[in-house]
Amino acid sequence: MTISGVALLALCTLVGTLLGDFLGIALDVQANVGGVGLAMLLLVTARVYLHRAGRLSDGVKLGVGFWAALYIPIVVAMAATQNVVAAVEGGPMVLVAGTLTVLLNFVVFGVISRSGPRQETMDEIEARELAARTAGIPKL
């Protein structure tokens, strides 16, 4: 059933968020600590378990996959609700701090990313796995 996938996703999200809240309280931080990340780990674990038990039905895949496919539209909606005016009108200090942070961010990332051995790109990974996979990733 499709709802099984949606419900599984909802349960993982709720439990992860709760754990993140508890972690925040335990660490005396006024924020959720890694709730979404914990939820993701739960969902990955659930998928591995269902796969092994032979219960990873098409309905479950559809229920989760639909929301994963809606991810980009949701990000666009998120972008449309940012306080862009404040970011633009925040004055020179905001501009300097924001721009320098991102610049430094990419420089440091570039150094780390280029230092290691060249990694297999997403395209190469997919080309290799294409034979094993029947269903592709839905393109929006």
In the chain, DSSP finds a helix count (H) and a strand count (E) of: 7, 0
For the CB of residue 45, give the shortest distance to another protein in the complex, in Å. 9
For the CB of residue 95, give the shortest distance to another protein in the complex, in Å. 7
Q: Which is nearer to another protein, 54 or 89 (CB)?
A: 89
Do residues 66 and 4 make contact, with C-beta atoms less than 8 angstroms apart?
no
d(C-alpha 102, C-alpha 55), whole Å: 44
Q: Closest by alpha carbon to 39, among 19, 11, 18, 13? A: 13
For the CB of residue 2, give the shortest distance to another protein in the complex, in Å. 13
Q: Which is nearer to another protein, 54 or 92 (CB)?
A: 92
Q: Which is nearer to another protein, 2 or 47 (CB)?
A: 47
Taking CA atoms, 29 is separated from 21, 25, 80, 135, in Å, by 9, 6, 29, 43
For the CB of residue 56, give the shortest distance to another protein in the complex, in Å. 10
Question: Is the CA virtual torsion 86, 76, 72, 37 positive or negative?
Answer: positive
Q: Which is nearer to another protein, 53 or 112 (CB)?
A: 112
